[in-house]
């Protein structure tokens, strides 16, 4: 075999660099690696079930939703959306820089993505603290049960994603990745999954019943 | 294209918030997800079946939520 497909080359373990994506990858070697896509698919299915539950709850508990939504800050919700989207875009640019072997560019973009991601964490932590000081907790109403559990589930994924991004960003261009496609592009994939989940969570809680 | 997808997502957030209609916001969420999937998750470069499966899942999710919510 004279030429390996980009993803085969990237996942061979013989290279510490991420191969550029020229053309389409094969069915069993998607960008980000098959293992990470299986994880992302399972997570998205779990989020999908959660969204369906929230959708049903909106219909069955309209009063609880109205009173709960009156206490939500739409500005904070929008800021959270902006930070996640921006961080996701920066990570995608970082992965692209890795595919071009532009290590300095990749590290800068990872640092910016982490900073913006940490802004999400800070804002969400502040939001939870404000809710707790207002006496909001699990068991207060069906709305707050759904809100705290669903956004908490999402928040755990954000924390995990940030941890993985920090580890990858620190290693990029400095040390070898055994499987660069899964480590670099796969970690980004997980981060974008957090974006996708938030796209649906935000309107389900913030937009009026 | 990645920057264009990012800007399009921001524009869709603005549209959804301005209109303040849950059904439109959920459909906008579906479009944003497809943009993120195709461009940022690099599905545009994946085997066509991966992109089709992702778009089908997001379409099903958005449609189900529009009906449920």
d(CA A98, CA A94): 6
Q: Which domain holds residue B33?
A: 2-68
pLDDT digits (tens, 9 = 90+) for A88-111: 999 999 999 999 999 999 999 999
In which band, very low, low, confident or very high, does the pLDDT at A208 lie, cut at 50, 70 and 90?
confident
Structural element, H or E, at residue A23? none
**CB neighbours of residue A194 within 10 Å:** 23
d(CA B18, CA B7): 17
- CA Rg value for chain B: 13
**CB neighbours of residue A134 within 10 Å:** 10
Token pair listed for A192 = 């974008």
Name the residue facing A207 among B9, B22, B42 (closest C-beta).
B22
Tell me the whole-structure pTM to 2 decimals. 0.90
The number of distinct structural domains making up chain A is 1
Report the CATH number that the domain containing residue A141 is assigned in CATH: 1.20.120.80
**Does residue A162 belong to any structural domain of this protein?**
yes
**Does residue A3 belong to any structural domain of this protein?**
no
The number of distinct structural domains making up chain B is 1
The larger pLDDT score, comparing residue A171 to residue A24, is at A171
Q: Establish if A53 touches chain B: CB-CB under 8 angstroms.
A: no
pLDDT digits (tens, 9 = 90+) for A12-45: 333 457 888 777 888 888 998 999 999 999 999 9
For the CA atoms of B51, B55, B58, B61, the dihedral, rounded to the nearest 10 degrees, stands at -130
SS3 content of chain A, % helix, strand, coil (to 5): 75, 0, 25
- Cβ contacts from A onto B, under 8 A: 114
pLDDT digits (tens, 9 = 90+) for B4-58: 999 999 999 999 999 999 999 999 999 999 999 999 999 999 999 999 999 999 9
Q: Which domain holds residue A178?
A: 33-206
Q: Would you tell me which residues 116-145 of chain A have a C-beta closer than 8 angstroms to some C-beta of chain B?
A: none
**Does residue A159 belong to any structural domain of this protein?**
yes
pLDDT of residue A16: 58
Cα angle A32-A36-A39, degrees, rounded to a multiple of 5: 150
Percent share of chain A, pLDDT over 90: 77
DSSP states of A42-80 as a string?
HHHHHHHHHHHHHHHHHHH-HHHHHHHHTTS-HHHHHHH
């Amino acid at each position: 075999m004279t030429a390996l497909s980009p993803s085969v080359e990237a996942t061979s373990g013989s290279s510490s660099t991420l191969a550029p994506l020229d053309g389409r990858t094969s069915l069993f070697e998607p960008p980000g690696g098959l293992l990470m896509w299986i994880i992302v698919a399972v997570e998205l299915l779990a989020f999908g079930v959660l969204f369906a539950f929230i959708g049903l709850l909106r219909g069955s508990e309209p009063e609880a939703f109205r009173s709960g939504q009156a206490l939500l800050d739409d500005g904070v919700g929008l800021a959270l959306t902006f930070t996640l989207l921006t961080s996701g875009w920066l990570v995608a640019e970082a992965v692209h820089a890795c595919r071009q072997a532009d290590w300095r560019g990749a590290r800068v973009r990872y640092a910016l993505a982490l900073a913006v991601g940490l802004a999400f964490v800070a804002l969400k932590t502040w939001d939870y603290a404000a809710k707790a000081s207002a006496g909001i907790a699990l068991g207060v109403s069906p709305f707050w049960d759904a809100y705290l559990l669903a956004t908490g589930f999402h928040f755990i994924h954000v924390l995990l994603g940030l941890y993985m991004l920090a580890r990858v960003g620190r290693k990029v261009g400095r040390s070898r990745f055994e499987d660069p496609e899964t480590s670099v592009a796969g970690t980004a994939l997980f981060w974008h999954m957090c974006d996708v989940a938030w796209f649906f969570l935000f309107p389900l809680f913030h937009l009026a019943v | 294209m990645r920057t264009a997808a990012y800007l399009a997502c921001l524009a869709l957030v603005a549209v959804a918030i301005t209109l303040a209609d849950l059904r439109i916001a959920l459909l906008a969420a579906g479009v944003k997800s497809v943009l993120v999937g195709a461009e940022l998750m690099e599905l545009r470069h994946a085997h066509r079946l991966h992109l089709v499966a992702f778009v089908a899942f997001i379409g099903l999710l958005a449609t189900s939520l529009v009906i449920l919510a």
